Amino acid sequence: MYNQKIKLLKSKDTLQWWFLILLLSLTLASCAGILTKSQLTEIKKFSAASNAYSEYPGTVMKTHAGLSLNNQLTNASESKNGETALKNIYKGIEKKNKYNKLADRADKACEILKSYSSILQKLSSDQYINDTQASLEKLGKSLDKSIGEYNKLSNSSFSTFGGIIAATLRGVASIYIKTEQHKAIKKAVNEADPMIEDLSASIIKLLDLYVGEDGAQIIQSEKEDLENWYKDAGHKQPLSTTQWVAKELEAIDNLILLVNKSKIAATNLRDAHKTLLTKIQKKTDLKDSIEIIEILIDDVEAAKDLKDKIEG
């Protein structure tokens, strides 16, 4: 890939393009640094993981709220009188609503991870420099047009250079913007790291209440309540009740799995951010320099596309 890019650059307008690379390299040398491809990959990986993760704690809480209502309904089904049965139903609904509201609060708090990952993605995107493409293209075309007219009027034969000017401007702007992007991401990731650590620890502590060392064992307790009810009363009811209990027990086991996976994912999320921080903070070594040059070549190619477009 790298060799192909080099070949491509050697094939056409060699002198002009090496001049452009030299110019961009000089600009790069004067800059604090730009994001390497592996840093960009790390940001994308973290963003995808945190986006998906933000919904897990709320899902666990809402599933538990549903289980809680169902257990209350089992109590209602064996009540000795209608009034107590109805009381149990309303209590179940109230419990479910109460727990769902709490889940909504957790969801809202965890959504911050989505906002964080989306701003990291935006800061690492090419959007800023791509936004300048159209106006630079227009500038290049105007220059070429005026050179053409000048040649016609003065019987001269100056070659057009609008494309080169536009491409060079794009290259310089790109390096400047990318340096600023790198600085902003480095700062954000550095400052956010202890907060992400806190957030994932708090999420794990919450999930521990459902399944884990904490001792509250909320889900296990709901399971035991259902099992006890079935042993004492439920088994006397029609087959449909037994089928419902089987489904419910399966759902509880799946919820236990979800809690355990969510806890592992919260740890991974914290670790992924730590990896991102390490990669972002790492001083440029030879491998990174090659990556930076590859990005630079990508920029040169993008600039060349602009030049080719202008020159038709």
Partner 1 sequence: MANTEKIAVLKLIRELKKEVQGLKSDDANPSAGELETVFMILDDLEDEIIYNALEERVQEIENASTKLISVITEAKNKSAELDEIAKKINKVAEVLSKLVDIASKAASFI
**Binding string to partner 1 for residues 230 to 269, with x set by CB under 8 A, is what?**
--xx------------------------------------
Enumerate residues 146-185 that contact partner 1 by CB under 8 A. 146, 149-150, 153, 169, 173, 176-177, 180-181, 184-185
Indicate which single residue of 97, 115, 242, 281 sits in contact with partner 1 (rule: CB under 8 A). 115
CB of 298 to partner 1, least distance (A): 18
Indicate which single residue of 1, 7, 30, 215 sits in contact with partner 1 (rule: CB under 8 A). 215
Residue 207 CB partners (closer than 8 Å, separation 6+): 57, 60, 259, 262, 263, 266
Nearest-angstrom CA–CA distance, 11 and 308: 14
CB of 30 to partner 1, least distance (A): 17
Q: Distances from the Cα of 153 to the Cαs of 146, 198, 258, in angstroms? A: 10, 71, 77
Does 311 participate in binding partner 1 (rule CB under 8 A)? no
Report how many residues bind partner 1 under the rule CB under 8 A: 76
Nearest-angstrom CA–CA distance, 226 and 75: 9
Indicate which single residue of 50, 75, 100, 262 sits in contact with partner 1 (rule: CB under 8 A). 75
Does 132 participate in binding partner 1 (rule CB under 8 A)? yes
Buried b / exposed e along 9-24 (16+ C-beta atoms within 10 A): beeebeebbeebbeeb
Does 271 participate in binding partner 1 (rule CB under 8 A)? no
Radius of gyration of the chain (CA): 31
Nearest-angstrom CA–CA distance, 258 and 3: 47
